[in-house]
Structures are given as C-alpha cells and as structure tokens.
Structure 1
Amino acid sequence: MKKIGVLFGMENSFPGALVEHINARNVEGIQAEFVETSAVHLDKPAPYAVIVDRISHDIPFYRAYLKHAALNGTVIINNPFWWSADDKFFNYSLAEKLGVAVPPTVILPHKKHPEGTTERSMRNLEYPLNWDGVFEYVGEHGFMKPVDGGGWRDVYHIHNREEFFHAYDQSRDLCMLYQKAVDFNEYFRCYVVGQSKVHIMPYDPRRPHHERYIQNPPAYDPKLLARVEKDALALCRALGYDLNTVEFAVEDGIPYAIDFMNPAPDADLHSVGKANFEWIIREVADLAIAKAEHAPAAPTDLRWSTFLAGTSGAASKKTAAKKPAAKKKSAKPAEQAAADSVSSS
C-alpha cells in the first residue's frame, strides 16, 4: 500500500478534505492520511510515497524531516530543498530573466544588525546609502516587505519618503525589499498545480481577507488571461514548484508578477470560496495520486542547478537564435531540455 501523507498546521478545511477526496477515489493500492512522526531516526525512511507539505516553512523540524524523507525516495510537494533556498528577490530576478513583467524592486540592508553581528560585519556596505538612487529607481509609492516572508506579515504600504523611513525603522533585523506600487485595474491570484494546470481567480488585495476573492467577476480580455496563464506556468516551471499561487497586478494591460513564492498557498474553504476550494482539492488530489502511482525507484534529482539551468538555458537559447544554426549544438542536452520546458510555456 502506497501512502500519501498530508503535513499541516493550524488550517482546518483543506487537509481533511484532501485526505477524504483521495480516499473516496478508491484508487487501488493508494491511501491518504495525516502525517504522523516522532523523533526522526537517521536509519528509518518515512513511510510515505508522497507528502503534501503545508507547514514546514514555519517549523524547522518538519523541514528537516521532509529533506530526510526526500533523500529516501518520498516525493515532496513542494521540493523542500529548493523552498529552503528561494526568496522573493530571487523570484523577481528570475521573472525578469524569463521575460515576465515585474515592477522595479530593490533589496535593502538590515536596519538592525542580525544577531551575532556588528558594524564590522557590514564593512562591504556603502555608507551612507544612496537613498536618492533608491527613490529615483522605485519611486515614493511602493511596498516594503521581507525578502523571505508571507501571510502579509511585516508588509508596509508606502506613499512618501517619511512613510518609507518609518517602515524601515520598524523592520528590525529583517532583510526587506522595496517595490514600486502598481496602479492596477485588475488583479489575479492563480493556483498553479503540477506545472500544467492554472486556475485564475479575480482577487482584490485591498479588501478584508475574507472578501478578497471576487465573486461574479466581469469579463476579461482573453489575451490578458492567456498571458497571465503563460507567465504563471513559466515561473512555476522555472522554480520547480508543483503547487503555488502566482499573483498579477494589471496596469495598462500589462500583468506584473507581484507575488509567486507561495508553495503552501491559502486553500481555506471560507476564504477562497466553494468553487475555488473544490478545484484545488481535485487538482492536488490528481497530482498526489499520479506521483504516488509513478514514484521513482530512486530519489529524484533535487539539486538547485536543475532549476537554475532552466533560466540560463532560456537566455542562451535566445542568444543562440541569432547565431548560425551550427552554433546551437553547443548547448548541453540537459540545459536545452530545461530551456525548452520554459520557452514552451
């Protein structure tokens, strides 16, 4: 019997519904359950073919457990090695390389020295910082948020320099980024599952949390929706995420990728609504069952270069297109395959 485990924290509706839905399928040889673990022994692999991870970003013990499980052949949704390395500023850098629109963004040095460091630890940092250059590039209307964060924690809406420095003073030892605000007309939050399925949800981040998913939305330009889907897939394929949400703010018809590091995205029935909830349950169940049925005999290659090669390969492919045909053969097969998977989206 192959087991699909769901690892979760305080959320209620999604984990139970996912387990019930998978088991109701009555797929021969597959059973879903909540993950249960004690102290993790080095010589004991996890008893799961697949684990759907909803909480390890907040619990280091769970993250270490998942890495151990992955090394011993368990398929983890999402890859815990890459998730540990990812951050929002890298996401934006990646998007720019892929040709996905992103607003001007900078990362800022820590306001307070990280624990265990002093001003001598920061001797490579320019002082005083060129704040005029920051505002010239980003502007005075933007958002300040942690490079590695989520759930709208420590996010500040900035309207002028005074608000910027007030927010910066509150950021403690967090590494923050500052990003130009998009004056959006439309906003979409997209579930992306299995790097192939996209569910576009009209969304308004200005509303109270439980009212953000728009019911009965207006009709949208099909070309706009097609670009949103294309860009969402390109980002998740390059990042290697099997489950993610990607958010786009649309200004003057251009969808700007705002947030796409959500590998444990909100899937609560009471916030996303019944239709969206049923879609995500069905698609994640399909994904988990498929991975359980075709679980590799040996651990999957989880090296970071597997994903990063996709970006450099895509850039190389664009450059190679301008050269004689014979030059194209210089790309390594693995890099070319990764480039094709990105460019085909």
Structure 2
Amino acid sequence: MKKIYFLLFAVLFIVSATFAQGSSDAWLRCYNVDSTLVGFKDKNGKLMIQTKYIPSMTIADEFDKIISAVEEDDDQWKAYYITKQGRIVGRDSLYFFDNTSDCENEGFIRFKARDTEKIGIFNSNGDITVPAEYNGLTKVRNGLLVGLKGATKVYDKDSQGNTIEEHYGWENGKEILIDTLNNLLVENFPYNDKLNYYSLEIADKPSADSIRDSFKGVNGKFYSFINYEREAEQVIREYLQKGLTPERVEELCFQEVTYWEKDAGWLPLPKKEFVKRFYKQLEDNLHQLNIKPKTYFISLDGLNPFIFDTPLYAKYFDNCGFSNEWRYPTVNLVLDNSDESARPQTHMHFLRTDDGFKLIMVSF
C-alpha cells in the first residue's frame, strides 16, 4: 500500500525573505508602528492594504495577485483570501501545510473546504477553477497539478498506541495529472518531485531521452518531463568526459560559490576566486565519480533562505520567501571519501538555474 505523508509540526516555522521574487507591480509587505500587524504598500510607498493582519499567519512578502490572510477581530481570528482587486473569498478555508498557509504560484492558490476537508484551487480573480475534490493537491507548476483522489486518511500512533492527530498520511487512492481547469491529462500519475514540469513535451511516442520520464495521457499522447537528478548527473559526467580544467570548472560554477569554513561557517566567494583556491580539491572529488562510481548518491532539495539571503538569489524564492524548488531545485551530490578521512563525505550542491545546473555550495 502506498502512503503519502503530510506532517503538521507543532512549532510554527516562518521564513522571512525580504528579496522574494514577484512581479514588477507587486505590493510589498509593510508593518504598523510597533511591527505587530502587517499590510501591503505599492512600490511607491502608497498603502494599498491596511496594516491589520497577523504577521505569522499572513506570510506573503509580496502581494502579486492573491494571498491568504488572517486578522484578529473581537478576540477571534478571521481567515480568508484577498485578490488584488480587493475581493474576499474562501472564508475559513485556508489551506495549511506544516502550519503555514499556502502561497500563490502562477496566479493560483490552494484552499481547503471546511465541510469535506478536500482541496481545490482559486485563480487570481478568486474564482474556483479546480473544485475541492482532492485529498492532496500540489502547487500549480507550468499550469499543471498532481492530485490525489479517493484516499483514506490514516493517523500515526505514538509508542503507547495513541493516535497523533497532527501526523497523518493517505493510503490508496489515485494520483492524477490535471490542468488548472481540472481537465484530466494523465491517469495513474505517481507524484514525483524530481520532475521538471516546465520541461513538458507532448508526443506520439515515449521520449527516447534517458533523462526524461514519459506518461501516457488520456488522449493517447505521451507527456514527458526531465528528471532533475538524472539531468544533473548527466551535466557533471559530460564535464568529466571532456576533461577538467580551472576554466571549465569555473563554467560549472554559479556567480559565487559558498563553502564551509570550520571557524567561520558558510562563506561565499566569487567563482573565479573559489576555483583558484579550491580547484585541486574539486578535481580530486569529481574524479571519484569515474574511479569509484558507486561511492556517491544524489538527493534533491531547495535553497536555504538563511544562507542565500541576498538579492543575487531573489528569483529562486517565491513571494512568501520559500525556496522555489519545483522550478529551481538544488541537487546535492554526496561523495564518500576513504574511511581514514577526517570528513568522510564531500557535499556539492548544484542549483538548477535558467542556464542549467551550477555549483553553488561545497562542504569538503
């Protein structure tokens, strides 16, 4: 049986990213005099939304098209969605994940129906385009969503066998691929966060490209997507096959590369300076992929907002300050060193940018 876990943590974790990516006319988060309430102003400083919302529950740093908001009135919380036109929809229907309300993506935001606890989608006008009929629903990515239907909620148990209300998962059900108008595209579409939904190709046959995964649609066509992990591995191996030089390693690097210094923590260096200082270590580690092909593994993640918190990384975060990992993930290449090594593993993080994968962080 398949179980998909949605964990709700007791401690509220709010990420603040002043430089979150938004459109040019997005309204910016602002505070009242004592910073206890938030509202939004335009980029000229004009107040567009009153400062009356609870900061920890109204998480948008930029108001692009639609946001989730919570205010306190007569000792009661009022939760709803607000559009840019001032329309209020979805009262008491906020969708939460890990105790954090949803953030708009591509002009759409998720909501949860109060009576059924099922999930749907509002568009930027506050209209329902995907009805609340799903047990689980991803963010909109390239106009696509993965939905879970017909599943059974199963709660975790503690060591004494008591139900943990905050921890639950889904058993059985069917995962499907739909668009933002709730049109079924692919049945039996197993959710996979390794897929690049922005790389969609539709063809009469499955893709022959080894880094793509293909799925047969209800229309008989095949929908294929690049697999981020396999793409990253292919890029790295191509560099190795053509031979490593300081110049070629510099091509593989982001504008700056962050490395771990024992006494100082994470430090960024311009890529030219980084390669000049660490080329030999980079070369030795990357060659392990050819010498010992089984001594590494790859995992997918997103940018850490507490490390990458300057304007250089703005586009890699959403309007709420969370890593935009569905479009710009990081791939962590972990290399196992010898048993005698003081640091048995080297971690090399590659960020998927618009120019391909770039080395962005290293821990030797």
- On whether the aligned pair clears a TM of 0.5, the verdict is no
Bigger radius of gyration, 1 or 2?
Answer: 2
Relative to the length of structure 2, the TM-score reads 0.24
Higher share in helix: 1
Q: TM-score, normalised by structure 1?
A: 0.25
Per residue, is there more strand in 1 or in 2? 2
Q: Which has the higher contact order (CA 8 A, sep 6+)?
A: 1
